[in-house]
Amino acid sequence: MDEKLVSIEEDLDAKGSARRKMLVGAGTLAAGAALAQFGGLIRSAEATGGSTEKWPWPYKKLDPAKTAEICYNEWYRVFCGAAVINSVFSQLREKVGEPYKSFPADAFVFLEGGQVGWGTICGSPAGANIVANCIIGPRIAGAPEAHQIAADIMQWYSETALPVYMPTNPKVKDKIITTTSDSPLCHLSVGKWMKSSGHPLKSAERKDRCARVAASTAYRLVELLNDWKDGTYESSHDTSCAKEFGITGQFNCSDCHGDNVPVPPMPKKS
């Protein structure tokens, strides 16, 4: 089994894994053929009539820099999460059409501020995860790449000094410093940047920083999607908190727990 596939709720059996690897290898295998191997999902799609639940959705390679620029500007209309989604889907609505036209991207404004200001997951990785999983499909449909790309994005976001993308015509002309969040959480990402920069939440600088973080995430997302389209995608995340520590989580334990990291209940050895 591919150790990089972080499956929290179930360990797919060896047979399922072999099937997945075959599907990954085939790359361009039609969605119908892929679905035929996963009866559970077919039943679901038939039961619900979900015509958008046939994966992968048609995808045409996009320009990362152009996508980032769209995202930067969209941030000022719909904020981080919906900006990332729209930066990709608005182009695919033009190049492909459906099912992108039927996706209600603007509904995802609520991803702002870590979901309506609660500081949970930053809307930029949350939006990127939605895009990857809508295009490639969920792991239960037999393709693990979107699940892996989501984990890649979370790790990249946590480890990278952000923002990396410089807009061609930035609304704030002053230098925007970069910080590393060690976490995909809005509270930590924004909080560490505010602490280092000295700029408050409602400042123009903080807003432009977040617009550039969204643009940076959209850029990275499109790089990964293009690799997937080319059949050259390889997952880059290298750990699973659930497997290593027996609990869902990040890798910044000491940020909250200090030196006193608790040990969760573990399965009894048989």
Half-sphere exposure in the Cβ direction for 128 (13 Å, CA): 32
Could you give the string, one character per residue 62-101, with x where binding to its own copies holds by CB under 8 A and - elsewhere? ---------------xxx--x---x--xx--x-----x-x
What is the Cα–Cα distance from 46 to 11, expressed in whole angstroms?
26
Toward its own copies, which CB reaches closer, 40 or 58? Answer: 40
Toward its own copies, which CB reaches closer, 71 or 82? Answer: 82
Q: Which one among 39, 265, 269, 270 touches its own copies, defined by CB under 8 A?
A: 265
* 1 touches its own copies (CB under 8 A): no
Toward its own copies, which CB reaches closer, 82 or 215? Answer: 82
* 186 touches its own copies (CB under 8 A): yes
What is the Cα–Cα distance from 153 to 70, expressed in whole angstroms?
19
Q: Which residues contact 226 (CB under 8 A, 6 or more apart)?
A: 61, 62, 64
Q: How far is the CB of 99 from its own copies (least distance, A)?
A: 7
Distances (CA, A) of 102 to 67, 93, 96, 130, 134: 20, 9, 12, 14, 12
Toward its own copies, which CB reaches closer, 106 or 234? Answer: 106
Residues from 24 through 43 that contact its own copies (CB under 8 A)? 40-41
* 141 touches its own copies (CB under 8 A): yes
* Structure-token match 């085939």, residue found: 26
Residues from 203 through 262 that contact its own copies (CB under 8 A)? 203, 207, 240-242, 246-250, 255-256, 262
Q: Which one among 119, 164, 226, 227 touches its own copies, defined by CB under 8 A?
A: 119
Q: Which one among 130, 218, 221, 222 touches its own copies, defined by CB under 8 A?
A: 130
Single-letter code of the amino acid located at 223: E
Toward its own copies, which CB reaches closer, 82 or 222? Answer: 82
* 139 touches its own copies (CB under 8 A): yes
Per-residue exposure over 137-164, b if at least 16 CB sit within 10 Å of its own CB, e if not: bebbbbbbbbbbbbbbbbbbbbebebbe
Q: How far is the CB of 106 from its own copies (least distance, A)?
A: 5
Give the residue among 139, 150, 152, 151 at the shortest CA–CA distance from 56. 139
With 0-12 / 13-18 / 19 or more C-beta atoms within 10 angstroms meaning exposed / middle / buried, residue 231 is exposed
Decide: 125 and 198 in contact? Cβ < 8 Å: no
Q: Which one among 200, 232, 269, 270 touches its own copies, defined by CB under 8 A?
A: 200
What is the Cα–Cα distance from 262 to 54, expressed in whole angstroms?
42
Q: Which one among 198, 259, 269, 270 touches its own copies, defined by CB under 8 A?
A: 198
What is the Cα–Cα distance from 57 to 262, expressed in whole angstroms?
42
Q: Which one among 26, 107, 166, 204 touches its own copies, defined by CB under 8 A?
A: 107
